[in-house]
Amino acid sequence: MNTPPDTPAQETIAALATPPGRGGIGVVRVSGPQVCQLATALLGSVPTPRYATYQPFSDSRGETIDIGIALYFPAPHSFTGEDVLELQGHGGAIVMDRLLREIYQHAVRPARAGEFSQRAFLNGKIDLTQAEAIADLIAAESEAAAEAALRSLKGDFSAAIHLLVEALIALRCYIEAAIDFPDEEIDFLQRGDVAARLQQLLQQIERINQTAQQGSLLREGMRVVLAGLPNAGKSSLLNALAGEDRAIVTDIAGTTRDLLQQEINLDGMPLHIIDTAGLRESSCEIEQEGIRRAWGAIAQANLVLLIIDSCHSEQQQAENARLIAKLPPHIPLRKVFTKIDICTNNNSSEQIEGNLLSSKTGVGLDQLKQDLKQIMGYHGDTEGCFMARRRHLQALNLATGHLQTAISQLHLHCAELVAEELRLTQQQLEMITGHFGSDDLLGRIFSSFCIGK
């Protein structure tokens, strides 16, 4: 793959690799062809490769900026594949800023977000799934997510894709050979057991897809919106799920006026719970804005929990029916009947369709959590799971579609079309690892990284 035009390999880059602010240690990372000249200017000489050297960091006047540890990694044996210098000093904002300002005086420019990882990818040190795993490992909010990201970083996801691609290439070569002998084409394909090999590839892709879906849920989680009439128990349920008083709860209808989001960990899967204003007709301008925002949140939800007061009257039952009719039909809906600790109307046929719970006593909360996992297809067993993103799932789904089409074309004895579908399958799989892709895709991916990675 060619180097993107906005990332010239001849430039040397530098950035703070630790969080800005005050800390015990601050690390500045430098990568590129000017590293040795910079080391000589700052340190007096180039450090011994891969040995930690404790020494002063000096400016152009010879004044000491800081005293710390210098580490030099010559190309190609470094993270980026280029000459890399890491300076570990004291983590004060002023000290790090002075050190960076001095570095930028030596034909070195500030690194863009994700540029170190991007250079590692472009220099063949890691593939795209491993590069993305670096960002996912940093952003992991649960132990399961961190373990999955680490598996991707170690190359588990890439290895599974590479095995598929190798099998595809072997099959493509066989089919291309069959096309070269049109008089024997049908017998040639049958002798090669092409149908069985295609089915085996399809099963492999589906297994990877299932694992990737679990990894995607670990990374992105589930966006759940609590919707319903005023005083139905939405805020009380949010507090119960969060395990703390995050939302104000009163008997006054319309207490919640804005969106309130809380993240909880559901056996490793992040759950983004959004409390919303009660949905009703209102003359209050502030409440109207809250209701408008509630509908906006509903439109972006993975799941809507319609919160219904178990003590609801016939009028409220009719209002809930009208609400259901207004909800987006493509977004999954689950009814949750609250306040079962104080209501006697708990055995109606309507409630069989949803969850029964009490936010006050906690009865029914565990069942709701289990149902949420089931709705999203998350089984909680993350052993062997690797981190995955939406683009990975999209590529796997497209690859599956092309492979299924190839099987259909094989039944019609269209070897040329089978070969084309296999080519498209391989193309989608190589989009995942970055062996086939556009510079625009790479730009979007690496721009989401933090500075210094």
Q: What is the pLDDT of residue 16?
A: 93
Q: If you write DSSP's letter for every residue of 161-183 in order, what string do you get? A: HHHHHHHHHHHHHHHHHHHT-GG
- pLDDT higher at 50 or 353: 50
pLDDT at 87 over 80: yes
* Residue with the two structure tokens 């319903």: 228
* Residue with the two structure tokens 């049908």: 186
Q: What is the pLDDT of residue 438?
A: 56
**How many CB atoms within 10 Å of residue 400?**
18
Whole-structure pTM value: 0.74
CB 161 within 8 A of CB 129: yes
Q: What is the pLDDT of residue 5?
A: 40
Q: What is the mean pLDDT of residues 297-324?
A: 87
In the chain, the percentage of residues whose pLDDT exceeds 70 is 89
Those residues with Cβ within 8 angstroms of residue 37's Cβ, 6 or more apart along the chain or in another chain: 106, 107
Would you place residue 165 in the very low, low, confident or very high pLDDT band (cuts 50, 70, 90)?
A: very high
- pLDDT higher at 115 or 349: 115
- What are the strands of the beta sheet with 12-16, ordered from one edge? 53-58, 64-73, 84-91, 23-31, 12-16, 108-110
Q: What's the mean pLDDT when you consider all of the chain?
A: 85
CB 20 within 8 A of CB 93: yes
Q: What is the pLDDT of residue 47?
A: 95
CB 133 within 8 A of CB 126: no
Beta strand 23-31 with 12-16 is antiparallel
CB 105 within 8 A of CB 119: no
Q: What is the mean pLDDT of residues 288-297?
A: 89
Q: At what angle are helices 143-154 and 128-139 packed, to 10 degrees?
A: 160
- What are the strands of the beta sheet with 260-266, ordered from one edge? 260-266, 269-275, 222-228, 303-309, 333-338, 355-356
3-state secondary structure of 141: coil
What is the total residue count of the chain?
453
Those residues with Cβ within 8 angstroms of residue 186's Cβ, 6 or more apart along the chain or in another chain: 413
* Diameter of the chain measured on Cα atoms: 84
Whole-angstrom Cα distance, residue 247 to residue 307? Answer: 15
Q: What is the mean pLDDT of residues 190-208?
A: 86
Nearest to residue 15, comparing CAs of 90, 63, 84, 72?
Answer: 84
Q: What is the pLDDT of residue 191?
A: 59
CB 339 within 8 A of CB 309: yes
| pLDDT tens-digit series, residues 107-156 | 999 999 889 999 999 999 999 999 899 888 888 878 888 888 899 999 99
pLDDT at 203 over 90: yes
3-state secondary structure of 73: strand
Q: What is the pLDDT of residue 2?
A: 39
| pLDDT tens-digit series, residues 325-346 | 999 999 999 999 998 888 755 5
Q: What is the mean pLDDT of residues 349-364?
A: 79
Highest mean pLDDT among 170-174, 239-243, 292-296: 292-296
Q: What is the mean pLDDT of residues 214-223?
A: 85
Would you place residue 436 in the very low, low, confident or very high pLDDT band (cuts 50, 70, 90)?
A: low
In the chain, the percentage of residues whose pLDDT exceeds 90 is 43
Would you place residue 250 in the very low, low, confident or very high pLDDT band (cuts 50, 70, 90)?
A: low
Element (H, E) at 356: strand 355-356
* Across 54-58, 141-145, 157-161, least confident range: 141-145
Q: What is the pLDDT of residue 7?
A: 44
pLDDT at 381 over 70: no
Q: What is the pLDDT of residue 6?
A: 44
Nearest to residue 365, comparing CAs of 355, 379, 352?
Answer: 355
* Residue with the two structure tokens 């995607």: 216
Distances (CA, A) of 397 to 160, 427, 438: 16, 13, 19
Q: What is the mean pLDDT of residues 341-352?
A: 62
* Residue with the two structure tokens 């399958």: 425
